[in-house]
Structure 1
Amino acid sequence: MITVAGSCAAVLLLASCADEPADLPYGTVQQMMANEVQPTADIYWGAVGSSSELIDGKPVNRDWQPETDAEWQAVAASAVKLRELANTLGSPAYAEVRAEGWTDFTEGLAQAATRAEEAAKSKNPDAVFEAGGTLYSVCSACHQAFPPEAPAAGAEPVDMTPNR
C-alpha cells in the first residue's frame, strides 16, 4: 500500500518524465518520490497516531508518539528533509519542464514542512498530527491540479489513505 507520501509522490511525478533533464540530483521526479520523499514522509506520518481494534469482543485503543528526545529529533529531521526535497523540486532543474503552478505546490509543500518541523520541535503529538494533515492537504491539492499518470503496467495504483 502506498501512503499519503506516496500520493504526494504521484502528484509531483505527473510532469512528463520524458522531458526531464539528464542532470537531476535525485533522478527523475518518480525516482525522487520513491527513494526520498516517500520514505521521509512515512517517518513523519508514522510518528504519532492511534488505533483501536476489537480483541475478545472488547475495544482496545493504542496511541503512539515519540518518547525520547532522539525520537522527536528524528521526526523534526524528517520535516526538514521534506522541506529540502520540496525546494529541490521547485529548483530550475525540476521545475523548468513542468506546467504552470508546479512551483506554487512545491512552495506549499516547503511551507507545510516548516510547520511540521515546528510541531515536532514542540514535542506536541496533536500538533504533529495536525501538521501531517496539512502535508496531506498540500499533496491532495497538487493531485487535483496535476492528476497522477496512470501507473505503469504491473505497478500498484496510488492509495491516498493516510498511514495513521
Structure 2
Amino acid sequence: MKTSNLAIFALGGALMLSACGNNEEAEIEARMSAVATFMIEEMDETADGIWDNAGYILTEEGEESLFPETDEEWAVVIQATDDLIAQTRRLQSEEFAGDDEEWIAISEGLVVAAERVRAAAEARDEDELFDAGGQVYRVCLACHQRYALDIQRIR
C-alpha cells in the first residue's frame, strides 16, 4: 500500500469519528491509526518483495527481467510471501478488523493470492508468479477501493 492510500485510511478513520460516540470514536481512531502504521512499516515492504521480483522493466537497452535467477533470490520471494500471509492474518485480528466481516473476507482473499504466489515461487514459474502477483495487487486494490468509497460517503 502506498503512502497516499494510507492517508485515505487515516482520513477515513478521522471522518468516521464524526458519526460515532466518544468510545466508539476512540476505538475507530486507534484501529485506523494502527492499520496505517502497520501498512507503512510492514506490509508495503513485504508486498514489494513480491512485486519487485516479477515482471519486466523496459529500458533504452531493451527488456530487463525482474524474475529471480538463483535459489537465494527465489527464497526472498518465498519469504516475502510467508511474511505477507502472517501480516494479513494479523490484519484479521480484533486489533485491525474490529468486527468488520468484509474486512476479514477481503484479507482472506489476500491470503489466497499470497499462497498462489508462494506456489509459483516454489515451482520457479515466472508466468504464474507474475499472474499471482497481479492477483495480490487486485485484492489490495479492492480493499482500498472498498474503504475509500465508505470514506467518500461519509463526507
Scaled by the length of structure 1, what TM-score is found? 0.71
Name the SS for the 2:53 alignment partner: coil
* 1:50 CA drift (Å): 1.1
Structure 1: any 5+ residue segments left out of the alignment? 151-164
Pairing 1:65–2:63 present: no
**Is the alpha carbon distance of 1:8 and 1:131 closer, same or farther for their aligned partners in structure 2, counting shifts above 3 Å?**
farther
Kept after mapping to 2: 8 A contact 1:48/1:128 = yes
Q: Once the two structures are aligned, what percentage of the paired residues are identical?
A: 31
Kept after mapping to 1: 8 A contact 2:54/2:133 = no
Say which of 48, 56, 61 aligns to 2:54: 48
Name the SS for the 1:88 alignment partner: helix
Alignment of 1:131-146 (within 5 A): 131-146=132-147
Q: Find the counterpart in structure 2 of residue 154 from structure 1.
A: none
Residue type of the alignment partner of 2:13: S
Name the SS for the 2:57 alignment partner: strand
Count of residue pairs the alignment pairs up: 138
Say which of 7, 12, 16 aligns to 2:13: 16
Kept after mapping to 2: 8 A contact 1:11/1:143 = no
Kept after mapping to 2: 8 A contact 1:44/1:132 = yes
* 1:102 CA drift (Å): 0.9
Scaled by the length of structure 2, what TM-score is found? 0.75
Looking at structure 1, the residues matched to 41 and 52 of structure 2 have their Cα atoms a distance apart, in angstroms, of 17
Looking at structure 2, the residues matched to 137 and 79 of structure 1 have their Cα atoms a distance apart, in angstroms, of 16
Q: Find the counterpart in structure 2 of residue 159 from structure 1.
A: none
Q: Find the counterpart in structure 2 of residue 153 from structure 1.
A: none
Kept after mapping to 1: 8 A contact 2:8/2:148 = no
Looking at structure 2, the residues matched to 147 and 45 of structure 1 have their Cα atoms a distance apart, in angstroms, of 23
Higher-RCO chain (CA-CA 8 Å, sequence separation at least 6):
1
**Is the alpha carbon distance of 1:11 and 1:41 closer, same or farther for their aligned partners in structure 2, counting shifts above 3 Å?**
farther
Residue type of the alignment partner of 1:131: A
Name the SS for the 1:146 alignment partner: helix
Q: Find the counterpart in structure 2 of residue 38 from structure 1.
A: 44
